[in-house]
Each structure stands twice: as structure tokens, then as C-alpha cells.
Structure 1
Amino acid sequence: MSKNQGSKPFELKISTVVAVSAILRTTELAAIDAALKQATGGAPDYFDHDLVVVDVSGCGQDIGALDWPALTSLFRSYQLNLVAVRGAPSELQPQIVAHGLSIDTLAQPRQEAREAEAVTIHEAASPAAPVAQPTPPAPAATVAPVVERVEVPTAMPAMIVDVPVRAGQRIYARGCDLIVNAIVNNGAELIADGSIHVYAPLRGRALAGASGNAGARIFTLSMEAELVSIAGVYRTFDGGLSKDLAKQPAQVRLEGDRIDILSIRA
């Protein structure tokens, strides 16, 4: 009898997978290649076979001309494995799937929720239509529509790390903030769906808002990061930081499509 007889041939378990979000605004492969070279500084090992979800919602009508096999090969040349596409029109999705890629629809509900929220706030703030025989409203009635539509965010839990994060180590705080009370070394990577707080030097990579939370931030007592990212928008520091920010307390936030680094002063 085989010693493996009676055991399950395989098991399925839910696993957390972290992927880089690549936001395309053009279908020109040469332009994408040039942008990747600039972002990586030409270093062949800048990425470590990371998974990539590409967002094509900013490509407009040009998306139909995108060469998916060539795009996949281009990313692979930078040690990036393209696995899914976000923001593609429904008529192109069968073609994308035929090239071995998945359709990521995770961002769509969040976008619809933001649009619904904007409409609700607009309606609450709009003046009411005139009434033929108006009666003086009670004070509570004037504020009730707005109060009913305000959604107070619940407190987000946090993952706390009390030991140094070594080179090559990756920590992912899924669905929460990440708090690190020790040094984050070069080559280490922090990822959180919420904000990232490092109460020590931050010398590796920090990716906050990994699930799309554009309001997430990164805080550190000593800004020395290799790369920072908020909701998939990233910034590297090949040219170094200015003297007022380098090795100083700082915060990172997303303003539109721009990553801002701000000093934290006592």
C-alpha cells in the first residue's frame, strides 16, 4: 500500500494574493516600455516576478488596438506577470480571457458606490422645489436629509509588527492598517489595505491602500523609502529626497494622480 493512499490528492484554500496595479493611459507599447524603464531605472531585478493587474479604463477607444500577447511579454521582460485586466469594456472581455488573462471586476462596485454617494450628496445639498403653500419647516427637518445620508466610517483594525522587517521580507495587512515599531530595511516590502505607520526608519517599499483606498496614507519617523504607493499610484526616489524630507518624519498621501511627500513637524 502506498503511504499516500487515502490522503486527498489536493486541497483548495483561500489565499491572499498581492498584485501590482498598473494604470495604462496609452496602448502604445513603446511608450509603456519607456515609462517602465524610467520607473525601474533600467534595473533588471527591480521587480521580483510580481503579479500585475492592469487598469485600462484610461485608454478610451484605443483599447481595442492593444496587443495583449505583446503587452504580456513586455511586462514579463521586467519580471512582472500580467494576470488580470481591470476596466475593460464588456465587448472586449472575451478576447482578453482568450489570451489567458482574468477580468478583475473588484474595482467596479467601489466606483459605483462612489458615484452613488456623490449623487446622494448632491441631492441632499440641492434646494428643494418650491411649494404652492409653504409652511415654516421645523428646524430638524432642514438638516434631516443630510444627516440621514452621512455615513460614518467604522474604525479599521491594525496589524502590529514589533520586530525589524528584513530585506526580501513582505508583510501584508489585509483589510486593515499596518503599524511597524522597528526598522524596515532596504529590500523589504510593506503592504496594507489601510494606512501604514512606521515608527522607525522606512528604507524599503511601502504600498498603502492596496485594495484601492485612495485616502490611505504612509507615515514614518525617518523617510528613506525606495518606493511608496497609494492605491496603485507609486513614486520612486532614484534622485533622492530634498534635505527637508530625507531621513525626517514625513507622511505620504495621494492628491489626484500625484504622490505628495509632506514633512511632519512637532
Structure 2
Amino acid sequence: MPQTHKTTTQLIEFKGTTLPVVVVTLRSLQPDTLAEAAKTLFGDDEFFDGDAALLELSHLVDVPEADWRRVKQVLRAHGLNVMGVRGGNEELRQTAAFAGLPTYAASERPPHAAVADAAAAPPATAAPAGRADPEPPPTLAAAPEAAPTLFIDRPLRSGQQVYARGGDLVVLAAVNAGAEVIADGSIHIYAPLRGRALAGASGAPDARIFCTRFYAELVSVAGLYRTFDDGVSRELAGKPVQIRRSEQPGDAGNKLIVELLRTD
């Protein structure tokens, strides 16, 4: 009789993937206050399409006991699925964990961090008697790794999303209404922007958005949003613009500026 071979189905498989995550910086955990602020930003309808969200808690001060269930409901009403938190004090992170929101460590590295290359230093030698030890030769620092830049040269249709993790995003075709472009760094769009653009997604306040023809639905830099439900003003519509956070210290630095970009 012919032998039969039984195949075993692998019930669990692991595959690496990259998922876009929106970092939501909160300055209040009062559900009613958050609901009002979210309604001002996004209206009454769902704005996001089930995007994963990470709550940044480092800007909270003197926080009362958080009602995490209601906080999640407020954001879910606008299409955001809260997956966890980062920052904040230990007590706040513990209450979030009890509510099913784990803590995620910030992924940013110090801007001027360098790794000493021990292999580049010559071996140490003993100094002759009666003489001071010579100063050790300086160690060589590894060259900082250049941040990757993602280039997109095709139009993005409604429902499509592109995320440049860890670097800048350059778009050479139209971002149509309902499409979304996200970058941890800055975003450069050399075409019409009719959808949404979110720069500094990992919290970089110096990120910017540059666009040659501006008709956006929403723009954001490091968590500060501005929507255009009634359309872009005549002064900005169809013109080259840049979007940045205010460079003024204090509360004024929490303002998002949309201004014409001088090209001459």
C-alpha cells in the first residue's frame, strides 16, 4: 500500500511588520474636557480609520485618578484605538496597565549620542618611573547613522497611508482626499496635498511639512493638529506653504503655524 504522509499545520507563526501608530499627546485626562477638545478638532464623526494610538503622558501635571475606560471611548469615537501609553509618572502607568494599556518606552535616541570605538584605541602602556601618566589618546566616535528618507512617486488614493518611520518623507505625486502621509521627521510634498499629513509622529517638535499646492484636510506636527473642514482659506489654497510649530517658548510654543512658503 502507498504510504501517506501526514502534514502538520503550524498553528502559530511570527512575522515582522511595521504598523503606523499615531502618538497622541494629552495635557488632560478629564474625559469631558478631552471630548470637547476632540470634537473641536474632528467634529462629530470618526476622523481616523481605526488607527492605533499611543498616549503620550509626559505633559500631564497633578493628574487625578484617570478613568481610562472613558478616555479610550473618547478617542475611539473618532476612530483611534488606544494600544498603550508612554511617559508620565509611575502611578499613572500602573493604573493604565490595570486598564489594559501597557507602557511603551520612547524610541528616540539622544541627538548627539555617539558610541566609542574601543578597537580604534591603541593598547595602554606603562609609564616610566617618575613621569606622569600620559593622557590617553582620544577614542574615535562612530559616525552617526543617517536617518532614512522614504520617497513616494505615485499618487495616493483615498484610504491609502504611507509612514516614514525614523526619517523624512518625500512625496512626488498627489496626496488625494482621504489619503494620509505620516513621518517621524519632516514631510516634503512636491504636488497637491488634499489629504492628511502628520509630521514629527514620534514627537519631534522641529519637524515641518512643506507642500507646493495646499488643499489639506488635516495637518499635524508632533501632536498638534489643525483641520480644514470648511476648506483651506483663499490666502493659502493652491499655494506653496510650510507648517511648523511656533518657536516661541512657553504656551505660545504649542501653536501650529500654517504660512506661505517663499520660493523666490
Aligned partner (choices 17, 37, 40) of residue 38 of structure 1: 40
Q: Deviations over 1:118-142 (max 9, x none)?
A: xxxxxxxxxxxxxxxxxxxxxxxxx
Does the 8 Å CA contact 2:216/2:232 hold for their aligned counterparts?
A: no
Q: How does 1:15-30 map to 2 (within 5 A)?
A: 15-30=17-32
Q: Deviations over 1:154-178 (max 9, x none)?
A: 6433211111111100011122221
1:174 maps to which residue? 165
Question: Which one has a bigger Cα radius of gyration?
Answer: 2
1:101 maps to which residue? 101
Gaps of 5+ in 2: 114-142, 247-252
Aligned CA distance change for structure 1 residues 183 and 2 (closer, same or farther; 3 Å): farther
Is 1:253 paired with 2:248? no
Aligned CA distance change for structure 1 residues 242 and 9 (closer, same or farther; 3 Å): same
Q: How big is the shift at 1:240?
A: 3.5
Q: Which has the higher helix share?
A: 1
Q: How does 1:114-133 map to 2 (within 5 A)?
A: none
CA RMSD of aligned residues (A): 2.7
Q: Match of 2:34, SS? A: helix
Aligned residues: 227
1:146 maps to which residue? none
2:223 maps to which residue? 232
Q: Deviations over 1:205-248 (max 9, x none)?
A: 01112222222211111011111111222211224333221110
In 1, Cα distance between equivalents of 2:4 and 2:77: 43
Q: Deviations over 1:9-37 (max 9, x none)?
A: 22222322222222222232111111111
Aligned CA distance change for structure 1 residues 87 and 3 (closer, same or farther; 3 Å): farther
In 2, Cα distance between equivalents of 1:48 and 1:41: 15
- Structure 1-normalised TM-score? 0.76
Aligned partner (choices 208, 216, 223) of residue 207 of structure 2: 216
Percent identity over the alignment?
Answer: 41
In 2, Cα distance between equivalents of 1:215 and 1:47: 24
For 1:10, the aligned partner's letter is I
For 2:29, the aligned partner's letter is T
Aligned CA distance change for structure 1 residues 2 and 85 (closer, same or farther; 3 Å): farther
Q: How big is the shift at 1:2?
A: 11
2:53 maps to which residue? 52
- Structure 2-normalised TM-score? 0.77
